[in-house]
Amino acid sequence: MTNFLNHANLLFFYKKSNKKSLLLCQRGNISALLSFYRWMTAGEVLKEYWGYDSFRPMQSEIIDAALQGKDVLAILPTGGGKSVCFQVPALMKDGLALVVTPLIALMKDQVQGLNDRGIKAIFIHSGMSRREVDLALNNAAYSGCKFLYVSPERLNTALFRSYLDVLDISFIVVDEAHCISQWGYDFRPDYLQIGRLRERVDAPVIALTATATPRVAEDIQCRLARPEAVRAAQVSGKPVAHGFTLLKSGFERPNLSYIVRNTDDKLGQLSSVCAGVLGSGIVYMRNRRKCEETAAFLKAAGHSAEYYHAGLDSRTRSERQAAWKKGDIRIMVCTNAFGMGIDKPDVRFVVHMGVPESPEAYFQEAGRAGRDGLRSYAVLLWNSADIRHLHQLEGVSFPSLEFIEDVYQKLHLFFGIPYDTGIGRQLKFDLEAFSKEYGFNRASVHYAVKYLEREDHLTFSEDVDIDTRVMIVVDRNALYDIDLPDPHMADLLDALMRGYPGIFSFPVQVDEDALSRNCGVSVSQLRILLYNMSLEHVIKYIPADHSSVVFLHHDRLRPGNVALSPAKYSQLKDAYHDRVEAMLEYVSETDECRAHFLLRYFGQEESAPCGTCDLCRSGAARPASTEEWLCSQVKSRGGKYSLMDIRQAYESAQLGLSPDWTSILRDLIESGILPPPSSV
């Protein structure tokens, strides 16, 4: 794939371009080269930049609406190619797209991917110091940056807001948009800042999510509505006329077979799935220790398996993730920390070793199987212990409001923060030590802090990687007179000075891999060198760390002022309860097709039984008419299908469908109900 337009293309666009671009271009500015994309169609940008010939279902509709300046909410299933939907229009417009996402790993991956293609993209997340954020924002504002990725809690900081007027924002992109809804399974109060952002930024919104029930979808649109619409609704008392374009692709995954097993021998069942289904797999578990045990069990049974959870250091995690992605590790046993933002098309099975807390989470995790369209399995193993556990969890997840308020005050005490101070502070929070100090139950504290996050008092980022930082503490001129005991140290100092201009003024984040390559040492040798140089008082060295961070949204409130609404508390508790109940219904269902059940939950009423889930296969699921089945097959392919696709689906489905399906299909086409087959 070419990174830039080739020379001939460039000349062609050069002629068509306007004066401003010409000027910038003569200065050799990268962004000016990129602004040539403005003269291309969306399809040409896709081809040039991603190398694809055509868009996937829904992508072009979303891009068209965004380019027309409409606010868009797109509900695209996992693996539906979300990033293309905002990256293409952003490249076609001047300015930068502000991308709000809570997923730091995804942020890093996408920024890396864009930078690799010569497109300037920058990210800001909660692990960065104020100086680093300032530097990044400055860079975003004045260096032709096309994408600024931001974690939501940054939006309301004074620093970020001070840059709003100089950032030329083309689109506000809201990834994981369901996080803005209280009714969603993953509400994050920081997301509410995005609505407030619209007061200051006049740019259309592109909101994206993989899972939203109709209620959540409506809530997302109202909360992201233009400020005028919100004000008008407040005055009139009517619902918000948000004016969003809602684009929703079908949730059907025709190649994914949902299987549910009630069993007391989960390991035995898991073993037979791993032996019976070839190719890569993911096994989800809730508990870190059990991940380790299960991986060991699979290894002992001769499978290629490894475990992954947020307790591992970042290096090990990225090594394991890469090995799994390459196929060197076949099966990953993990907590839900694994999988977000990882695009591996050929995952053949996803096994859940227990019942997840919500259909949203389940659908997303199970949906990581079979993105390449080939037959894949989503297996859920459960027994009565899981039900008991889920009910217990429900109790723990909502500690009493008194307890939550107590944790609020003690948290400030723990860090020695007096009343009426503390706003904007970022605290390395050791949950274990805190719970021990006050004799609290660790899980209850965890959920109490999570609740305080919901109520907008703070942001709680768990298991954040804090990168290695270095600052040179010796004066630049004096540096050459220092006698360093190890020749590698001189190389390292040189590399640090060349690579990190700010290093004399404040601790900067350094890339250990690049430094070790530069100096011809291993990463562990590099760390020893850095440590020894800090002993020589040449540098200040802050080693990489892995911990949880609390970010305070306002000054410490006095007792009685920590407004926690009992009404809201019980609503949230009810919504949580409903999700758990829906999940319990899913596993204990006896006659509704599994796919049908999940689609119905997401508001898609008209769908035919899938024909390949455990209930369809056993003949227990209510049968579909051949017409219904054909319609849902065509719909799941976005209306673009070939007769071969349908034939294959027909052969793998065991539904008692009419053998004369071709003539039924012809009737449906002739009466205009279905589009004719295309060659795609």
Which residues make up the interface to Zn ion (CB under 5 A)? 593, 595, 609-610, 613, 616
Tell me whether residue 49 or residue 602 sits nearer to Zn ion (CB atom): 602
Question: Nearest-CA neighbor of 334 among 385, 386, 384, 281?
Answer: 281
Q: Which residue has the tokens 């909360």?
A: 223
The two tokens of residue 322 are 């890469």
Tell me whether residue 483 or residue 605 sits nearer to Zn ion (CB atom): 605
Q: Kindly state the smallest distance separating residue 253's Cβ from Zn ion, in Å.
A: 11
Tell me whether residue 510 or residue 616 sits nearer to Zn ion (CB atom): 616
Tell me whether residue 124 or residue 595 sits nearer to Zn ion (CB atom): 595
Tell me whether residue 90 or residue 260 sits nearer to Zn ion (CB atom): 260
* 146 within 8 A of 154, measured Cβ to Cβ: no
Q: Kindly state the smallest distance separating residue 661's Cβ from Zn ion, in Å.
A: 18
Tell me whether residue 124 or residue 613 sits nearer to Zn ion (CB atom): 613
CA 130/CA 443 separation, integer angstroms: 31
CA 72/CA 208 separation, integer angstroms: 8
Q: Are strands 205-209 and 72-75 parallel, antiparallel or unpaired?
A: parallel
Tell me whether residue 259 or residue 508 sits nearer to Zn ion (CB atom): 259
3-state class of 567 per DSSP?
Answer: helix
Q: Kindly state the smallest distance separating residue 402's Cβ from Zn ion, in Å.
A: 47
Q: Kindly state the smallest distance separating residue 585's Cβ from Zn ion, in Å.
A: 15
CA 678/CA 643 separation, integer angstroms: 9
Tell me whether residue 118 or residue 373 sits nearer to Zn ion (CB atom): 373
DSSP secondary structure, 419-467, as one string = TT--TT-EEEE-HHHHHHHHT--HHHHHHHHHHHHHTTSEEEEEEEEE-
Q: Which residue has the tokens 């290695």?
A: 468
Tell me whether residue 256 or residue 572 sits nearer to Zn ion (CB atom): 256
Tell me whether residue 538 or residue 616 sits nearer to Zn ion (CB atom): 616
Q: Kindly state the smallest distance separating residue 46's Cβ from Zn ion, in Å.
A: 34
Q: Kindly state the smallest distance separating residue 609's Cβ from Zn ion, in Å.
A: 5
The two tokens of residue 557 are 């409130």
Residue 553 per-residue DSSP state: -
Tell me whether residue 252 or residue 405 sits nearer to Zn ion (CB atom): 252
Alpha-carbon Rg of the chain, whole angstroms?
27
Question: Nearest-CA neighbor of 457 among 564, 376, 543?
Answer: 564
Question: Nearest-CA neighbor of 103 among 391, 423, 339?
Answer: 339
Q: Kindly state the smallest distance separating residue 339's Cβ from Zn ion, in Å.
A: 24
> If residue 541 lies in a helix (H) or strand (E), which one and from where to where?
strand 539-542
Q: Kindly state the smallest distance separating residue 621's Cβ from Zn ion, in Å.
A: 5
Q: Kindly state the smallest distance separating residue 586's Cβ from Zn ion, in Å.
A: 12
* 242 within 8 A of 71, measured Cβ to Cβ: yes
Question: Nearest-CA neighbor of 151 among 129, 128, 125, 132?
Answer: 125
* 328 within 8 A of 279, measured Cβ to Cβ: no
Q: Residue 547 pairs with which residues in a beta bridge?
A: 464
Tell me whether residue 580 or residue 608 sits nearer to Zn ion (CB atom): 608
**Which 3-state string (H, E, C) describes 183-230?**
CCCCCCHHHHHHHHHHHHCCCCEEEEECCCCHHHHHHHHHHCCCHHHH
CA 673/CA 654 separation, integer angstroms: 24
